[in-house]
Amino acid sequence: MNARWEWLRRWWPALAWAVVISIFSTGAFTSENTGRVIIPILHWLLPHAPMETLILLHHYIRKSAHFTEYFILSLLLLRGIRGENRGLKLAWALLAIAIVACYASLDEFHQSFVPGRTPAVTDVMIDTSGGIAAQAIAALTMMLAHLREERREKSAASNAS
């Protein structure tokens, strides 16, 4: 396969997801705008909850979205970095985390120019935490898969003898 197409095949998911994150950073997704949708849903789910509780839950949902967006980005970056290689190298995970941290910082800087949005260092920390969590889970998943494979091979070897 052509090297450009191979590069695009590996990287388009991460690039597309970065665009989605950028869309979430526009004025359409201010706290006020998402609150118009999320708070009525929360009120329907929790009809006796005071408004302060609903506002707090809305805040937690928005922060959870930060974590999740960058968790996904981190996994997609690992996919691009790893390419056709098997296993997981610490350098790949660290590079994915560094890219997540840089993109989160740029995203918050961009928000400083968007009416209704405010940049926050805490959001960069939440975003980067999502990226770190993704790499930790990817590493654990690959380690468990490797252990299962070793067990299968030992079992097959003992059955063959």
97-142 residue pLDDT tens: 999 999 999 999 999 998 888 899 999 999 999 999 999 999 999 9
Q: What is the count of structural domains for the chain?
A: 1
- Lookup: tokens for 66: 């930060």
Query: Do 59 and 116 form a contact (C-beta atoms < 8 A)?
Result: no
Which two three-digit tokens encode residue 13?
A: 């998911």
> Given a cut of 90, is residue 11 above it in pLDDT?
yes
Quick one: 65 exposed, middle or buried, by C-beta within 10 A (0-12, 13-18, 19+)?
middle
Supply the range of the domain harboring residue 117.
3-160
pTM score of the predicted model: 0.89
Which amino acid would we find at residue 41? I
Q: Which two tokens stand for residue 118?
A: 């405010």
- How many CB atoms are located within 10 Å of the residue 77 CB? 29
pLDDT tens column, 14-67: 999 999 999 999 888 888 889 999 999 999 999 999 999 999 999 999 999 999
